[in-house]
Amino acid sequence: MSPTTLWHNHASVPSKNDEILGLLAQLVEALSDPATLLSPESRILAMNRPARAMAGLGPGDDLPETCWEMWRRGFCPCPPGDPGCPVPEALHTGKAVTVLRKDVVRGVERDIEVRAAPVAMGNGDHVAVIHIQRVLSDTVLNEVLAQARDEWEATADAVPDMIFLSSHGDLVVRCNQAARKFLGLPFSEVIGKNLRELLRQAGVEGVDQWNGDNAQLYGSNPRLVLELHRYATSPARSVTGNVVVLRDVTHLRRLEKLATSMDLMNNLGHVVSFVRHEIGNPANAIKTALTVLTENWDSFDNEKRLAYIARSLADIGRLQDLLHQLRSFTFFEVTAPEPTALGPLLEHLTAMIAHDMEARSIRFGCSVAEAGDCWVLADAKALQQVVLSIAANSIEAMEGRPSPCIRLDCKIDGPDVRISLEDNGKGIPADELALVFLPLYTTKDSGTGLGLYLARTMVTRMGGTIEMRSQPNRQTVVEIVLPRIPTGERHPDSSR
């Protein structure tokens, strides 16, 4: 059987592939199921006898030229442009793709298994696609469904997370054993029901607020914390819809709260130790000075009396400074994050920092253009305070350094935005990096030890993170990472 007798439009076939296509045509002809050889552009090159018969073609009839004509003749179950057609996905992935379709021919509904197998040259270029159809009898169909059920039970039913397959209308197509156990319903009472309504009946709270692909829901009895993730199935498959995964994260959240509490206790212990030390020293000094002054009032002259009083007043001043520090400790405790335009905020900060740098003869560079149309969920005043506090630390680190330089950058990184402040100051030793965010920890003689602690507290309450990297005598980088707000979720009246 020669290639010229098999493909209808021989001029469209590159001559160098004639031999390969001829062999493929012979392979197609030898198949017992209806099979068609297609070009990568979906032009029909060859059809075997079962395919011709299925399409109603006689031995001398010309082949249809395109897949559209095949569909029009009732041979192909996939209409033109159908996202369920396996051919485009097979060409895209380079792998065979199989889908199950339902088709109606002459008023009779039939189940069809459609397979598309791409054929590529050694350089990866596809030369053809073998398109095979198999009409499934009840026996074969039951075998296919049984195999699918076994595969599902071996995978999804073995997973502790709740898994639902749903249509785009949230109607449950299938669910695993963990899902049925959580709902307390048999399989027959779950299939075909609305997933949101099933979750409500199971006492899950927060279903009405579930709009996106990720959500946190709560169970009322017992009190559960559930993470929900929804994934859309491939549009190139025969069934389109969603895979919804519900994960019980109650224990994980408890561990997180425990870790937060332990961190709070460690910080509180650090604060108490600091306050005890800072109050104890001046308080003891005041007590000693006043005791000596009282016992020796008559024997001391006025100059000596005034000296003891001045010493006590200096220690009282130290206590006043401590109270001022503790006031700063709680000043930014409450933040009010809201959709904030990052571009204008960073432009304002850049102008403020640049003016201060110029006055101190520090070279300042910045690159914040990427923040132009970027929005974040932030407290504008608190974020400004954070950046200015970090800049102040960088300025102090410049003291005595040759060619001092500070740089402010803003970069978009997928769903996040990264704001970094870099300086070439004296840096911080590795053993101190783990301590810099502790409250009241400082390596400076005049420092309060609150700046970076407050910065971390405020950034965390905005849903972000802050980290520091440093190389002694070379550079220090402080990076703030905040989640971006998608365009559709920005507040229309917010300009901050």
CA angle 429, 433, 435 (to 5 degrees): 125
CA distance 214 to 71: 40
Burial of 118 (0-12, 13-18, 19+ CB in 10 A): buried
pLDDT at 1: 34
- Summarised one tens digit per residue, pLDDT across range 102-140 is 766 545 566 778 888 888 876 778 888 888 887 776 556
Contact 136, 113 (CB under 8 A): yes
Q: Which of 197-201, 324-328, 474-478 has the lowest mean pLDDT?
A: 324-328
Residue scoring higher pLDDT (331 or 433): 433
What Rg, from alpha-carbon coordinates, does the chain have? 36
d(CA 421, CA 475): 10
Q: Furthest-apart CA pair in the chain: how many Å?
A: 135
337 pLDDT band, cuts 50/70/90, is: confident
Averaged pLDDT score across all residues of the chain: 77
Residue 491 pLDDT > 60: no
Spatial distance between the Cα atoms of 7 and 2, rounded to a whole number of angstroms? 10
Each residue's pLDDT tens digit, 350-403: 888 887 888 888 999 988 888 888 899 888 888 988 898 888 888 888 888 888
Q: Are strands 44-47 and 97-105 parallel, antiparallel or unpaired?
A: unpaired
**Residue 478 pLDDT:** 94
The pLDDT value recorded for residue 474 is: 87
Helix (H, G, I), strand (E, B) or coil at 205: strand
pLDDT at 16: 55
Q: What is the pLDDT of residues 13-39, one digit of tens each?
A: 444 567 788 888 888 888 888 888 988
59 secondary structure, DSSP code: T
Yes or no: say if 102 and 46 are a contact pair by the CB < 8 Å rule.
no
For residue 76, the 8-state DSSP code is: -
Beta carbons of 470 and 427 less than 8 angstroms apart = yes
pLDDT (0 to 100) of residue 210? 80
pLDDT in tens, 40-73: 888 888 888 888 887 777 777 777 777 777 776 6
Structural domains in the chain, CATH included, are 3-136 (3.30.450.20), 156-248 (3.30.450.20), 254-331 (1.10.287), 338-489 (3.30.565.10)
**Size (the chain), residues:** 496
224-242: average pLDDT: 65
CA gap 233, 20 in Å, rounded: 36
Angle at 488 between CA 485 and CA 492, to 5 degrees: 90
H or E segment to which residue 183 belongs = helix 177-183
CA pair distance 373, 284, nearest whole angstrom: 57
* 423 pLDDT higher than 90: yes
Strand order in 223-232's β-sheet?
Answer: 172-175, 162-166, 242-248, 223-232, 214-220, 204-205
Q: Are 122 and 12 in contact (CB under 8 A)?
A: no
Full-model pTM: 0.40
pLDDT score of 11: 42
CA–CA–CA angle 40, 87, 101 (5° rounding): 155
Report pLDDT digits (tens) over 285-295.
888 889 999 99
Task: Give the C-alpha distances (Å, rounded to integers) separating 451 from 272, 391, 438, 439.
Answer: 18, 11, 10, 8
CA atoms of 437 and 449, how far apart (whole Å): 8
Instruction: Tell me how crowded residue 215 is: count the other CB atoms within 10 A of its CB.
Output: 16
pLDDT at position 269: 56
212-238: average pLDDT: 68
* Peptide bond just before 222 cis, omega within 30 deg: yes
